Amino acid sequence: MTEDLRPAVGLARRRFLTLTGAATAVAFGTNLPGSAAGTGGTSGLTGDPFTLGVASGDPLPDAVVIWTRLAPKPFDPLGGAPYQDVGVDWQVAADEGFRQIVRSGRATARPEFAHSVHVDVRGLQPGRHYWYRFRCDGYLSQTGRTRTANAPGQRGGRLTLGVSSCQAWTDGYYTAQRHLASEDLDAVVFLGDYIYEFGIAANGGLRNVTDPVPSQFRTEADTLDRYRLQYALYKADPDLQAAHLTAPWITTWDDHEVQDNYAGAISKSNAPIEDFLVRRANAYRAYWEHLPLRGPAPQGPNYMLYRRFDFGRLARLTVMDTRQYRSDQAAGDGWKVDSEARRDPARVMAGQQQTRWALDGLNRSPATWNVLANQVILSRMDLDPTAGDLYNMDAWDGYGAEQKVLLDGLAVNRHRNPVVLTGDVHAGYAMDMKRNYADPSSQTVGVELVPTSFSSGGNGVPVSANGQKFLDGNPHLRFVDERRGYSVLRFDEKELRVDCRVVPYIDRPGAPISTVRSFVVEAGNPGLNTVGQEVTVR
């Protein structure tokens, strides 16, 4: 935390927003959960507590986090559970029938954390599937499947990732997540905007639901209980639950988990910093409560989300956070012409500490493939196909000095096969990363892949007018598709294969999915090679 924000944080603690009903948890609280083992009291639950499903995440060679939240009435304050500790039994097995239980225990679901449960299951074998489930008051949860990371130092093998971002509930059905659930994946990488903070109309937007969305969803999320309600609505979706059931998720956030286009301690509306930090604390707490992340929970408006995962010597995945530490956007945000403010070295996106950590991890990496999971486009992207330039002040282009540091670091390490994964833009892009973007013939140093959004943007189109402008103005951009879906990435020691999958519509359920483009990237030879056109797969 920077020195000038400390007084604001102190004031924010004193002005913490009160919550409705029984939802009196305090996001600045320090009574954090300890180990997974614990003793709960008599539950007092009045129905099935597993309405929000189960999930797993953050796989290590010997560990994985398993998650659930007790919410018999998910749209009530505190999810309809009593304000007391509740004991939850859990099991992890080597087989789907749970004949070979390898780990088990009892966790405590605490009311101050919305009765969420995060069990960091240790002592597992590397590179294999496990099955897990929870039990509480005679109710048995769904069974989830997860997988640990490859053994440290393991050579060879394969890694298959599903990658997407941006799942606005009001923009349509989660058809893509249902298809994702049928993929055979080692992990899912989610690149931000798990929820959107906006109020929700009674008809659910493009979903046009027959049962009205409850009235408590009309207002924008800013308090802890309101953020919790938003997560409950999203996680109650059966297709999203299905996608969590089949593989561990590795997640990062972008802006809408808090507020559209916020930057560090600066809100979109330039609210007083002390007020906005309260909101950020609420949002960060609710995020942790609803995703399979390791503890401890966020304390106040800060949370260390950037982290690293190794899959043997095949791939290293570096997960970044480009929201919590960034400077305010230059030139009032939006698409703007070049300026000194855009290139000011004092303005940062990830911050000096995180950027140094990311590049140091790349420099020391033993992996064949080095993957950077990031929220916003890192490569240069010009919206003006004429001689002029228009840059997105909310993407890395708006933070030119730090952008150059990171791009130069990737260029120096081109032999380590850098691959950047990006969300945010509600479109599928694939591009070669260049040492000099002004010269299309300059050396390619890596690839940036933007798997399209799960739902944000509605049905979409193959290529919009703006999409064509991007293609015309950016020779390194090789592919655009603005429908909904995800990408499947398959790594081995020789190549990375990328399959870009989309659905034709999401304003009603049941859409098929197709692979609209496939690329191969050869290890040691950065750059995209097209290998396929549209083929319907299911």
Sequence ranges of the chain with CATH classification 2.60.40.380: 37-148
Cis amide linkage into residue 462, ω under 30° from 0: no
Torsion of CA 298, 300, 301, 306, to 10 degrees: -20
Are 402 and 348 spatial neighbours (Cβ–Cβ below 8 Å)? yes
Q: What pLDDT is attached to residue 9? A: 34
| Identity of the amino acid at 33 | P
Whether the pLDDT of residue 318 is over 70: the answer is yes
Sequence ranges of the chain with CATH classification 3.60.21.70: 3-31+149-536
Average pLDDT, the chain: 91
Q: Which of residues 180 and 36 earns the better pLDDT score?
A: 180
The predicted-structure confidence for 349-359, as pLDDT tens digits, reads as follows: 999 999 999 99
Phi, psi (5° rounding) for residue 516?
-90, -20
The predicted-structure confidence for 180-237, as pLDDT tens digits, reads as follows: 999 999 999 999 999 999 999 999 999 999 999 999 999 999 999 999 999 999 999 9
Q: Which of residues 498 and 17 earns the better pLDDT score?
A: 498
Which residue(s) pair with 484 in the sheet?
503
Whether the pLDDT of residue 41 is over 50: the answer is no
The percentage of the chain sitting over the pLDDT mark of 70, rounded to a whole number, equals 91
Whether the pLDDT of residue 248 is over 80: the answer is yes
Are 90 and 118 spatial neighbours (Cβ–Cβ below 8 Å)? no
Q: Tell me which residue of 343, 197, 190, 194 sits closest to 268, measured CA to CA.
A: 197
Q: What pLDDT is attached to residue 510? A: 96
The predicted-structure confidence for 447-462, as pLDDT tens digits, reads as follows: 999 999 999 999 999 9
Q: What pLDDT is attached to residue 34? A: 35
Contacts of 80-84 with CB under 8 Å at 24 or more apart are 80/45, 80/46, 80/47, 81/43, 81/44, 81/45, 81/49, 81/109, 81/111, 81/115, 82/43, 82/44, 82/45, 82/111, 83/22, 83/24, 83/111, 84/41, 84/42, 84/44, 84/111
**In the structure encoding, which two tokens stand for residue 227, read together?**
């953020």
Q: What sign for the dihedral angle of Cα 527, 353, 331, 333?
A: positive
The percentage of the chain sitting over the pLDDT mark of 90, rounded to a whole number, equals 88
- The end-to-end CA distance of the chain, in Å, is 49
Q: Tell me which residue of 208, 197, 202 sits closest to 171, measured CA to CA.
A: 208
How many angstroms separate the Cα of 172 from the Cα of each of 197, 313, 484, 509, 512? 16, 39, 10, 9, 15
Q: Which of residues 10 and 461 earns the better pLDDT score?
A: 461
Q: Tell me which residue of 73, 123, 75 sits closest to 101, measured CA to CA.
A: 123
pLDDT band at 44 (very low <50, low <70, confident <90, very high): confident
Question: Could you say which architecture CATH assigns to the domain 37-148?
Answer: Sandwich (2.60)
The predicted-structure confidence for 133-175, as pLDDT tens digits, reads as follows: 999 999 999 999 999 999 999 999 999 999 999 999 999 999 9
- Determine the Cα–Cα distance for residues 82 and 74; give it in Å rounded to an integer: 13
The b-or-e profile of 273-295 (16+ CB within 10 A means b, else e) is: bbbbbbbbbbbbbbbbbbbbbbe
Q: What pLDDT is attached to residue 537? A: 42
Are 50 and 142 spatial neighbours (Cβ–Cβ below 8 Å)? yes
Whether the pLDDT of residue 532 is over 70: the answer is no
DSSP 153-205: T--S--EEEEEEB---GGG---HHHHHHTTS--SEEEE-S-SS--S---TT-G
The stretch 3-9 carries a mean pLDDT of: 33
- Determine the Cα–Cα distance for residues 221 and 197; give it in Å rounded to an integer: 5
The predicted-structure confidence for 120-129, as pLDDT tens digits, reads as follows: 999 999 999 9
The stretch 53-80 carries a mean pLDDT of: 97
pLDDT band at 42 (very low <50, low <70, confident <90, very high): low
Are 193 and 503 spatial neighbours (Cβ–Cβ below 8 Å)? no
Whether the pLDDT of residue 509 is over 60: the answer is yes
The predicted-structure confidence for 289-311, as pLDDT tens digits, reads as follows: 999 999 999 989 999 999 999 99
How many other CB atoms are found less than 10 A from the CB of residue 238?
A: 12
What is the number of alpha carbons within 13 Å of residue 276 lying toward its C-beta?
Answer: 18
- Determine the Cα–Cα distance for residues 357 and 36; give it in Å rounded to an integer: 30
The predicted-structure confidence for 408-454, as pLDDT tens digits, reads as follows: 999 999 999 999 999 999 999 999 999 999 999 999 999 999 999 99
DSSP 397-409: GGGHHHHHHHHHH
State the pairing for strand pair 477-491/460-461.
Answer: antiparallel
- Determine the Cα–Cα distance for residues 220 and 199; give it in Å rounded to an integer: 4
- Determine the Cα–Cα distance for residues 317 and 332; give it in Å rounded to an integer: 33
Whether the pLDDT of residue 264 is over 70: the answer is yes
Whether the pLDDT of residue 40 is over 70: the answer is no
* Block residue for tokens 């950027």: 355
> Element (H or E) spanning 358, and its range?
helix 352-363
Are 193 and 456 spatial neighbours (Cβ–Cβ below 8 Å)? yes
Q: Which of residues 33 and 512 earns the better pLDDT score?
A: 512
Q: Tell me which residue of 66, 54, 245 sits closest to 162, measured CA to CA.
A: 245
What is the number of alpha carbons within 13 Å of residue 401 lying toward its C-beta?
Answer: 15
Q: How far does CA 441 lie from the centroid of its chain?
A: 34
Whether the pLDDT of residue 4 is over 70: the answer is no
Which top CATH class is 3-31+149-536?
A: alpha beta
Task: Determine the number of helices (DSSP H) and then strands (DSSP E) in the chain.
Answer: 9, 25
The stretch 250-267 carries a mean pLDDT of: 98
pLDDT band at 21 (very low <50, low <70, confident <90, very high): very low
The stretch 380-390 carries a mean pLDDT of: 88
What is the number of alpha carbons within 13 Å of residue 233 lying toward its C-beta?
Answer: 27
What is the number of alpha carbons within 13 Å of residue 471 lying toward its C-beta?
Answer: 15
- Determine the Cα–Cα distance for residues 484 and 175; give it in Å rounded to an integer: 9
- Determine the Cα–Cα distance for residues 486 and 502; give it in Å rounded to an integer: 7
Are 68 and 74 spatial neighbours (Cβ–Cβ below 8 Å)? no
